[in-house]
Structure 1
Amino acid sequence: MIRKTRPPRAGGAPGKRGAGPAVRAARPAHSGAAEEKLGKIAGLSAVAAVFRHEPERVVRLYYDDSMKTAAGPFCAVLARLRRPYRLLPPEEMARVAGTVLHGGIVAAVRPREVPDLTLETAQRWAKAGAATVLLDGVGNPHNLGAIARTLAFFGLGHLVLSDHPAQAGLSDAAYRVAEGGLEFLDVRRLTGAAQALRSLRPHFHVVGTALHARGIPPEAVPRDRRPILLVLGNEENGLPPPTLAACETVVTIPGGGQIQSLNVSATAAILTYSLLLRQAER
């Protein structure tokens, strides 16, 4: 559900939350037993993005011989912050990264905060005309990363993750596939998608996606003064029925081949280009 923020209670201690909505965020990992909570951001584009936007999140940097030159500016930043960086052989890089798909460079980072989406924040986005994407049950972190990369590529800035039990979060795999795209997005959490979408409809044109020709084609979506909130669901089953019912407009990308549906990240790319950018260019 979307909750309104409220001012802090009188007499509350400075810096503490008042009666407003809870912000669910992972606490930073510092040292000792908390070290295992550090995330891993792999690949030059993703590492460069985190150094550009939040270098203070980087706790350590690892790189192999192929990345010595590229890693130089990052090492200089860490030196100023008095944080370590190491040149590692290939086998150790794979162990540190947890995958062989590390691109020769890995940053160990403190987890990023993902606050709740409040009604006030959503209204601010809508007033600015900011098209937004909500993922409700997209469980594959590679798809989440690919969607984030698409949004960043097209210059969109907002991504919302529902509390669906299958919904993927900001994992190492999502960061790797996003190629730095997640660093350019304001990412929020949404509790109770179906109920929340109904409260957002005065501010956004809520457009859901459906499989098996249950919706209209993208070009038939009516023009609207409100920005679009595009809702994408589970890779296999689509949106949960209550979420789909809360959408004002339902779209289906028509196909003429033998495969019944597109991957959700491909659907996101097509609809971002055909719907969200079309609206932004009005």
Structure 2
Amino acid sequence: MSNPWLKNKGDAERSRKPAERSIGAAEGAERGESPARPSRDEVRWYGFNAVLATFAQRPEAIRKVYVSGSRLRDAADLLKWCADNRIGYRVVDDADLERLTKAQHHEGLVADVLPLPVLDLQEWLDKAPATRDCAIWLDGVGNPHNLGAILRSTAHFGASALLLPASRAAQGISGAAARVAEGGAEHVRIVALRERPIDNLTILRRHGYRALATVVEGGTNLFRAELPDKTVWMLGAEGEGMDRSLAELADTRISIPGTGHVESLNVANAAAVLLAASFAATE
């Protein structure tokens, strides 16, 4: 059997038909492992911008690449790098990519990569900007599409970190979240919070940050509030919202005003509004 892992673009073009055989039949038989899962220390990234952002920021993290024939030209630089660095890639069809990702929105490019590094709170603060800065603290947000949209907004506005409970940070950023982030995941530091919220707040305050909890009602109007130079926005889970006891520990509680026709904004939309307000306040 010919090796299913192609090493250069010429091989990809010449071997299109063999390479596009079912991954289950070709790769699994060659490697003796399930093709539907990356190895234990890898995550399966998908989405064109997500994979290319990893290539741009952390090429050493790439372990395997799967690409559709229609994306060969678009991914030429990545595939050349794979060939030069003995990183295997395969040309496969869309059905195989859907099996690999369990999603239809793979955009023709998939990669098994090492997870994003996770920083301890103090480790991040030691590297954080000395003057103005903004970060997002998520309390219970689990939907990967919301998480991805928040990462995209965080990268767009230049906020320096996404703060997550340690258990959630340990799970890492999923391929679905990375795709929705459109490359933004590679530009945001992922930070693991300590177990006790008060410990996190104490450390943040010691470094000049102020925690602003977002609440549906009863908070200061966002557009009338004087925002601190170093802000940590605290946002709650999609359904339950911000935990009341956590919100009460914050330095300030903020509400985003609206018509009242709906109860509140989606958490990802709220994050974008808050980040926009923070960075508008610094200009």
Say yes or no: TM over 0.5: yes
Shifted more, 252-261 versus 166-175: the winner is 166-175
1:58-97 map, 5 Å? 58-97=62-101
Determine if the alignment matches structure 1 residue 205 to structure 2 residue 205: no
Shifted more, 252-261 versus 100-109: the winner is 252-261
Determine if the alignment matches structure 1 residue 57 to structure 2 residue 49: no
Structure 1 position 156, deviation (Å): 2.5
SS in 2 for 1:177: helix
Determine if the alignment matches structure 1 residue 262 to structure 2 residue 262: no
In our comparison, the structure showing a higher alpha carbon Rg is: 2
- From 32, 37, 42, the equivalent of 1:38 is 42
1:155 is matched with 158
5+ residue gaps in structure 2? 1-31
SS in 2 for 1:170: coil
1:105-116 map, 5 Å? 105-116=109-120
For each residue in 1:159-189, what CA deviation from the matched residue of structure 2 results, as whole angstroms up to 9, or x when unmatched? Answer: 2112377997411111111111010111111
- From 110, 117, 142, the equivalent of 1:139 is 142
Report the aligned-residue RMSD. 2.3
SS in 2 for 1:146: helix
Q: Counterpart of 1:67 in structure 2: which amino acid?
A: R
5+ residue gaps in structure 1? 1-30
Structure 1 residues 58, 259: closer, same or farther in 2, change over 3 A? Answer: same
Structure 1 residues 167, 257: closer, same or farther in 2, change over 3 A? Answer: farther
Equivalent-residue separation in structure 1 for 2:236 and 2:73 (angstroms):
42
Report the TM-score when normalising by structure 1: 0.80
Structure 1 residues 268, 58: closer, same or farther in 2, change over 3 A? Answer: same
Equivalent-residue separation in structure 2 for 1:123 and 1:240 (angstroms):
28
Equivalent-residue separation in structure 1 for 2:84 and 2:149 (angstroms):
33
1:180 is matched with 183
Structure 1 residues 67, 263: closer, same or farther in 2, change over 3 A? Answer: same
Structure 1 position 279, deviation (Å): 3.4
Structure 1 position 32, deviation (Å): 7.3
SS in 2 for 1:106: strand
Equivalent-residue separation in structure 2 for 1:265 and 1:144 (angstroms):
7
Determine if the alignment matches structure 1 residue 280 to structure 2 residue 282: yes
SS in 2 for 1:101: coil
1:233 is matched with 236
Equivalent-residue separation in structure 2 for 1:227 and 1:139 (angstroms):
26
Is the Cα contact below 8 Å between 1:75 and 1:85 reproduced in 2?
Answer: yes
Greater helix fraction, Structure 1 or Structure 2: 2
Report the TM-score when normalising by structure 2: 0.80
Residues matched between the structures, number: 247
